[in-house]
Structure 1
Amino acid sequence: MHEKLKVLVRLDLDGGEAEVAAHGHVTEQSVQALYVVMKRANHLREGLRLVVDVSHARVERAALEQLQACSESRHLPASIDPLQSDCQLRVLAPAAAPVKKSLRLAA
């Protein structure tokens, strides 16, 4: 049995921040639904900082990597946001989650 994905959005328009908090199981498939919520939150106001809190969810590695890639590129997937609006995204990952590192050592 799969846990349902539960999402809560908190807005602080005066502070210019929106938090999308996910609970349950974030999979490669369910992250698509999370993107839709993130897109709606991102379009509430130009320049809004978006925090995606999956720290209390069970997150599959592939889903977390996708979220981190969005944070790095500052865009949601083109299939979700064809206009590729700027997205100031920060991901709060579970404590035990693998962190994507791009460290290269010189030989």
Structure 2
Amino acid sequence: MEPKLRVGIRFDLDRRMARLEVRGRVTEQNSRVLYVLVRRANTALPGLTVLLDLRRATVTEDAMAGLVRSSETGSLPVPVVHIKGGTLAPRQLSILAPAA
């Protein structure tokens, strides 16, 4: 795997979904970048469903637990929430898990 995160963002033509394709190793520390990108996509188009595609990444257990928690509850970590638009609706963030 790549040592740094690489993220590509694709918006569907109907603008109802953004797909963040992640490569590299996702840790609890660098996963904050993903939360910021999710928040920015949602701020650009409120109500947008964000799909976090981790199939080409490796993810630590702690990072995955945090991402799943955010997906289920719609809440983002505290430092991200204080930035304008830091909340999501539950299930507005979907995750494609990495391969086992």
Which TM-score band (shorter chain)? Answer: 0.7 to 0.9
Specify the alignment match of 2:49 in structure 1.
49
CA distance in 2, matches of 1:84, 1:43: 8
Q: Secondary structure at the match of 2:36?
A: helix
Question: Which of the two has greater helix per residue?
Answer: 2
Q: Deviations over 1:31-50 (max 9, x none)?
A: 01111111111111121101
Q: Deviations over 1:71-99 (max 9, x none)?
A: 01112212102264224110111131xxx
Identical aligned pairs, as a percentage?
A: 39
Aligned pair count reads 95
CA RMSD between the two structures: 1.6
CA distance in 2, matches of 1:34, 1:85: 14
**TM-score (norm: length of structure 2):** 0.85
Specify the alignment match of 1:104 in structure 2.
none
Task: Select the structure of larger CA radius of gyration.
Answer: 1
Specify the alignment match of 2:75 in structure 1.
75
Structure 2 portions without partners, runs of 5+: none
**TM-score (norm: length of structure 1):** 0.80
